[in-house]
Chain A
Amino acid sequence: MTRFLRTLLVLIGFTLLSTSALAETPFPTVHEPSDESLKCIQPEDEMRRNHMNYILHERDETMHEGVRNEPGSLAACIDCHVEPNSKGEIAGIDSKEHFCNACHQYASVQIDCFQCHADRPQKFIKRSSHSSSIRDQLEKTLATHDASSEGVNK
């Protein structure tokens, strides 16, 4: 009898734990673009389920055939959906706040696009100029090789 009670208690404990865990990760809501005139290319339900197919199709056509009409492009998704929050901060792909990552963390699906692609609209990315450092390096290398280019054939 005591064993039965103990099992029951453990089961109840597990149930409580799992519901509280669920409560901490609410179903993500879609970030609507601040410009209300902008509408997504498909209804939300369709995009939640099939967005990857749209992007994949565009991907091969763009890469290999140079077709660059905007609607289904990853850049167009990012341009509308990724915006700064009320404090003016803009989340990168590692953040839960990022439009893509919000759902992908919830669904536990790894997202690889942004290992290569820009995760924020270009207008929100501040860049320092790196070219000067590369230029310095290049000049240094050229100088070294000028000094030792005796044996170089034309």
Chain B
Amino acid sequence: MTEKTTPAEIDFFNLEADNNMEPVNTSRRDFLSKAAIAGTVTIAPGVLLHSTAHAATSGNTSTKANDEEVSSKNRWGMLIDTAKCASGCTDCVDACNEENGLVGHGRPATDTQYIRKVTLKEKSTGHELSLPLMCQHCETAPCADVCPTGASFVRADGIALVDKHICIGCRYCMMACPYKARSFVHENVENQKLTAPRGKGTVESCTMCVTRVDNGGIPACVEACTAENHNAMIFGDLNNPNSDISIELKNRGGKQLRPDLALNTGVRYQNL
């Protein structure tokens, strides 16, 4: 048995400690939507067109132009319904490995995982939960806090990344991450995917398929889960009240893992 795929012996997700998780901080979202309305009234026609174009979209995918910078207008997130996540199903993990060219070396303790399936068991009742666990894309990310070079950072739109150009492979971020979401590349890598550069001596984790997202797509795991009709994962803009994910969160709620750490994660779970 390996450490990485083992559910923690302690209350890893702190599920019992805090069931009254703070809801998504909506104050900024409200501010933004109000600001957008004010903008449409007062600003010049060119800008008005721009803001209506944003308002018209669903907020489920990015609409930014290729040469446009990402901004904090968006916050990309995922919502995972554990009730729909079947034990033993690894469709999301397979899609992730395929998308990012992740190859195992038969050493599960150190082989790269962007997503892993975790099974939780209620000891007294025997009730089991299965869920995919990946980088939670925290707003205040511990990995970025401890990084000595600035290689770990959170993009303006909420996606936590490693800039491997300046990563020195110290692995502080792996220690700091409460979700064990990061892996270190121990081996030389060949035949990388165009959209997933990765190499020996750097730390890596789920990128929320950042190239797909920038090009108006959705992450490979969500795509696979939906394509296989499991529909356990939703991707979208947490800052846009009209996005599927925001509507679902508003109607049925969603929990963060380890809410006591106040990291404001971008990945939320239902039916924990």
Assembled-state Cα–Cα distance A151/B106 (Å) = 27
B235 within 8 A of A: no
Contact between chains at A142 and B191 (CB < 8 Å): no
Q: Which of B28-36, B157-165, B256-264 contacts A (4 or more CB under 8 A)?
A: B157-165
A115: interface (CB < 8 Å): yes
Kindly supply a per-residue 1/0 record for chain B positions 115-126, scoring 1 wherever the CB is within 8 Å of any chain A CB and 0 otherwise: 011011111000
Residue of A nearest to B272 (CB): A154
Supposing A118-B194, A133-B104 touch, asked if A142 and B157 sit within 8 A by C-beta, the answer is: no
Shortest Cβ distance from A94 into chain B, in angstroms? 10
Q: Which residues of A contact B26 (CB under 8 A)?
A: none
| Interface size classification for chain A | 35 or more
Q: Does B148 contact A (CB under 8 A)?
A: no
B94 contacts chain A at the CB level, 8 A cutoff: yes
Q: Would you call B119 and A154 a contact (CB within 8 A)?
A: no
The reply on B93 being an interface residue by CB < 8 A is yes
Determine the chain A residues whose CB is within 8 A of the CB of B46 once the complex forms: none
Contact (Cβ within 8 A) A122 B98: no
> Of residues 65 to 101 in A, which have CB atoms within 8 Å of B's CB atoms?
65-70, 75, 92
Nearest opposing residue in chain B for A75, CB measure: B194
The CA-CA distance from A2 to B175 in the complex, in Å, is: 72
Q: How far is the CA of A142 from the CA of B68 in the complex (A)?
A: 43
Interchain CB contact under 8 A, A153 and B10: yes
Q: Give the docked Cα–Cα distance between A44 and B123 (Å).
A: 69
Q: Would B191 and A127 count as touching, CB distance under 8 A?
A: yes
Nearest residue in B to A144 (C-beta to C-beta)?
A: B1
A138 touches B1 (CB 8 A): no
Is A51 among interface residues, defined by CB-CB distance under 8 A?
A: no
Given contacts A138-B90, A149-B7, A152-B121, contact A118 B70 (CB under 8 A): no
Expressed in whole angstroms, the minimum distance between the Cβ of B19 and any Cβ of chain A is 12
Which of A59, A131, A142, A149 touches B94 (beta carbons < 8 Å)? A131
In the complex formed, the residue of A with least CB distance to B150 is: A64
Q: How many A-B residue pairs have CB under 8 A?
A: 129
Given A138-B117, A152-B123, A69 and B197 touching (CB < 8 A)?
Answer: no
Complex: how many Å from CA A59 to CA B98?
A: 24
State whether the Cβ of A53 lies closer than 8 Å to any Cβ in chain B: no
**Cβ–Cβ < 8 Å partners of A115 in chain B:** 188-189, 199-200
A103 CA to B64 CA, complexed, in Å:
37
- Shortest Cβ gap from A98 to chain B (Å): 13
In the complex, residue of chain A having the shortest beta-carbon distance to the beta carbon of B151: A63
Q: Is the CB of B120 within 8 A of A152?
A: yes
Decide yes or no whether B103 CB sits under 8 A from chain A: yes
Any A CB within 8 A of the CB of B23: no
Instruction: Indicate whether B248 reaches chain A with its CB closer than 8 angstroms.
Output: no
Contact between B93 and A138, CB atoms less than 8 A apart:
yes
Give the docked Cα–Cα distance between A141 and B121 (Å): 16
Q: Which positions 104-132 of chain B face chain A at CB distance < 8 Å?
A: 104, 106, 108, 111, 116-117, 119-123, 127, 129
Q: Is B223 an interface residue (CB 8 A)?
A: no
Which residues of B have CB within 8 Å of A118? 191-194, 197
The answer to whether B119 touches A142 (Cβ under 8 A) is: yes
Asked whether A64 lies within 8 Å of B90 as measured between CB atoms, the reply is no
Contact partner, A117, options B66, B88, B197, B200, Cβ 8 Å = B197
CB of B101, distance to nearest CB on chain A (Å): 8
Q: Would A151 and B5 count as touching, CB distance under 8 A?
A: no
Asked if residues A116 and B198 are in contact (CB atoms below 8 Å), the reply is yes
B202 within 8 Å of A by Cβ? yes
Query: How far, in angstroms, from A36 to B11 measured CA to CA in the complex?
Result: 63
Tell me the A113-154 residues at the B interface (CB within 8 Å).
Answer: 115-118, 121-122, 125, 127, 129-131, 133-135, 137-139, 141-142, 144-146, 148-154
The 10 closest A-B pairs by CB, nearest first: A116-B199, A66-B70, A154-B122, A116-B197, A115-B199, A69-B67, A65-B69, A131-B94, A141-B5, A69-B66
- Give 11 new A-B contacts, CB below 8 A, not counting A92-B190, A116-B164: A60-B165, A63-B163, A65-B70, A66-B155, A116-B197, A130-B104, A134-B94, A134-B102, A148-B1, A151-B123, A153-B9
